[in-house]
Amino acid sequence: MATEVKIPAMGESISSGILAAWHVKDGDYVKKDQVLYELETDKITSEGAAEVAGVISIQVEVDEEVDIGQIIASIDESAVDAPVEKKADMPEVDVAPAEAVDSIVTTDAPVEAKVDPVATLSPAARKSAEETGVDTVSISGSGKDGRVMKSDIIEASENPSPALPATGPVPSPDPAEFVAPVKPSISHGVRETRKKMSPLRRKIAERLVAATQEAAMLTTFNEVDMSAVIKLRKENQDRFVERHGLKLGFMSFFTKAVTHALQAVPQVNARIEGNEVVTQHFYDIGVAVGTDKGLMVPILRDCDQKGFAEIEGDIMGFAKAARDGKMQMGDLEGGVFTISNGGIYGSMLSTPIVNHPQPAILGLHNITERAVVINGEIVARPMMYLALSYDHRLIDGKEAVTFLVKVKDAIEDPARLLFDI
């Protein structure tokens, strides 16, 4: 009897993924609940485990796109007994013929076993090594028991180790064959490198292009004086940390300001489905989080019912989950609006792309001291540019500008957030 291994459902918005890696080989005996593969989608990377024990027959290669519900392998349950596991891979030893024994020189030095480097490669790493031409012998694996992973191969291809100097004698050059050295280029190395785009990056690219084609996007800008928020945050930071055990950041202010603006301009809290406009009466705000595998947008639920401490706690929890690769699909679904903070990377101004099917996204940027005119006088203030990108099919310029002004007013006068005015 064989049990099919299928790609499980992962949420309404995900219909396919990329099979990023197999953790077992074709013909291996696998145990129940043993991790079999990694699946990359446009949102998260997840692992698939065996539902039964038996011998696996793999039907889909690494880096292939697979649909939800697709069969990628089968497990033969009739193989009930697992083969005896080897304690260690022993090196092959050449046995000398009897007549040659007397000629063998023996020493007291221990014999160093030679381990086949190919045996320590994961399937994805082996394929990546073939594509990049990386020598795997000198690579220290970051996986379990020193297993070389795909990320190790990619890092080695991007940062090659310097060649070791020759240990043998160097012959004198023949004057007749002497050629003048070529002057090195300014880069002192290769002029360009080429590597395959990661499956996750390809999928993100496809979604971004689709978003620009499916929505009539427009961006409206404004600027906000951060003086009041900075002052309020500085005055209450110590007491906030003492009371709640975490720091008060700027993102919680903007999350509450966006919620306030969505309540004031409900046209922005809507989405298009076919020929219908669906107005949403809840306030689940997505916060973009950068990871080493790409951008994730976890959702802060019911922001209209949460205080600053709850929002800060949610943000900290999501940031840790993203770093540790523990993000759940339910954490990424159902948002009505997204906030993207490019300012933490030093961005001065940008036009963020709407996270379809959401209608709009707010881009935050870095805070810089700039000269502004207040009450007829030129003064230096900590200023931030705001960028609201939105689907013009649903939101007119009047609603977009009103929404952005509401956010600006709430940040410049935080008392509005406290008293809901």
188 is catalytic: no
392 is catalytic: yes
| Closest by Cα among 337, 336, 340 to 251 | 340
| Closest by Cα among 303, 224, 262 to 390 | 262
The alpha-helical segments, DSSP class H, found in 71-142 are 123-132
| Closest by Cα among 133, 172, 136, 174 to 152 | 136
Q: Rounded distance, CA 375 to CA 377, Å? A: 6
Spell out the residues 6+ positions from residue 314 whose beta carbon is closer than 8 angstroms to its own: 300, 301, 306
Q: Rounded distance, CA 14 to CA 299, Å? A: 16
- Do the Cβ atoms of 412 and 225 come closer than 8 Å? yes
Q: Is the four-CA dihedral 384, 389, 390, 396 of positive or negative sign?
A: positive
State in Å, rounded, how far the first CA of the chain is from the last one.
66
Tell me phi and psi for residue 40, to 5 degrees: -100, 130
The single residue of 392, 409, 413, 420 carrying the catalytic annotation is 392
Q: What angle do helix axes 250-264 and 227-244 make, rounded to 10 degrees?
A: 110
At 180, list the tokens. 């003048």
At 15, list the tokens. 């219909």
Q: How far is CA 68 from CA 61, 71, 355, in A?
A: 16, 9, 22
- Do the Cβ atoms of 25 and 123 come closer than 8 Å? yes
The single residue of 116, 135, 238, 396 carrying the catalytic annotation is 396
- Supply the residues annotated as catalytic: 392, 396
